[in-house]
Amino acid sequence: MCRHEASTHVPVTENSAVVDGSPPRERPPVQAGSLRPLILRLHFYAGVLVAPFIVIATISGGLYALAPSIEQVVYREYLHVDATGPAVPVAEQIAAAQAARPDLTLDAVQPAGDPGETTRVLFTDPALGDSERRAVFVDPVHGRAIGDLTVYGSSNALPMRTWIGQLHRSLHLGEPGRLYSELAASWLWVVALGGLYLWIERYRTTKRTRRAHLLTVDRTRAGRDRTVSRHGALGAWLVAGLLFLSATGLTWSAHAGANVTALRSALNWTTPAVTATAAEHADHAGSETHRDTVAPDVTRVDDVLEVARAHGVDGKVEVTLPAAHGDAFVVQQTRQPWVMSNNAIAIDSGGTVTDTSWFADWPLAAKLSAWGVQAHMGTLFGLPNQLALAALAAALTAVVVCGYVMWWQRRGDRTVGRAPARGALRRIHPATAVVVLVLAAAVGWFVPLLGASLLLFLVVDLAVATVRRRTHGKQIS
């Protein structure tokens, strides 16, 4: 896609350096005080040094986006049955799962939503990791267990999707591995906005002398110019999607994510949840509530489901069973394609509603966060959502590849392409420089890996500049 093509056009660098022995073309001079040299240098170093992390996150993320559809095929024998007819009571289905895994503690149940689907009975398993549960799949028509698998997270991802998700999240390296994905998400928006600024500036200066292309590839050019055109035009189309991926990805990150959570809490933008614990519903005058852990009364599940549906909590749901005597059942709508709201209701064993959480009452930020998470995972709009994310991943990978090809084509008689000239910050107005530094410090504090890596870039760059000056001085003397 980004091959070097033979042409009479001369590929040149951004600062008109000679590449193939031909004289460089004239380019419009950079205006004094322009931010372009600074953004160009930042975009270059981020593209060269951070892009590998972005590519890994992009490819693994594209695979993860398609995983919900793929797992429907891979695990069809667990997820679907050919039996038809009315389902037996959910309580009987739970009993069948308990008979299959009597060694585990019952946690929740997701009744089959559509004909041909299986019911998932969820157990806590001390042998599993964080956020993992054991799901026993039950034929709802015949009330028999057909197998069990480990599921992960609120989406109850099956093993294949979980493996891809952990690759995307941490490269299977645990908490230290999460730094890679946070680094990628931290820089993605910077690279995207910086690239858009540079491309628009190039368009504005180019159109003064000839026809310019902003959103299409200039096929009259060749060599490095054609590569630049591909890189810029495709990148411009992707900016909105890249900003979305960066923002939603950072909410899951370890360091920036903690700051996002703190900000949402301070602004009261947190996601509401129903209260199921009996102690929190006790009379404020001092009534006592017995909290001995007991086996949940599964015989009440069908009655609880009926009450929940009567109150509008219907469709595909998960019923969390009481963890202790006096606690309530919690019925919550699960995240499904094209379902834009997820309501929840708490119901005690007597059928009384003790608490509710209606999506319509959530703060706007909480709604946007929920939709963003589902869209990022490829589950908000089903298959179209997944295909769009996969296409975005493929296009971003192409943009990165074009970036590296541009760097290679810029090398001239050097081993690798040269970096844009230093001193960009010194050439802008002092007041502007102060604003840039203050903004960089603020953003670097809120997005710590961005700040730390940017500081590292500066330290290394200054060290290289110092060594080169000393070497050049010795050569002159």
| Res. 14: pLDDT tops 70 | no
pTM of the model: 0.84
Q: How far is residue 202's CA from residue 268's CA, in Å, rounded to a whole number?
A: 43
- C-alpha distances in Å from residue 146, one per residue of 109, 128, 143: 15, 21, 10
Q: Residue 1 has what pLDDT? A: 53
pLDDT in tens, 346-365: 999 899 999 999 999 999 99
Q: Residue 17 has what pLDDT? A: 37
Top CATH class of 76-157 equals: alpha beta
| Res. 413: pLDDT tops 60 | yes
Spans of all domains in the chain: 36-61+176-261+384-476, 76-157, 274-361
Most confident of 209-223, 286-300, 443-457: 443-457
Q: Residue 294 has what pLDDT? A: 58
Q: Residue 16 has what pLDDT? A: 38
Q: What share of the chain is helix, strand, coil (3-state, %, to 5)?
A: 50, 10, 35
Closest CA relative to residue 400, chosen from 58, 146, 41: 58
Q: Residue 336 has what pLDDT? A: 92
Please report which confidence band the pLDDT of residue 288 belongs to, taking 50, 70 and 90 as the band edges: very low
End-to-end C-alpha distance for the chain, whole angstroms: 48
Q: pLDDT over 70 for what percent of the chain?
A: 87
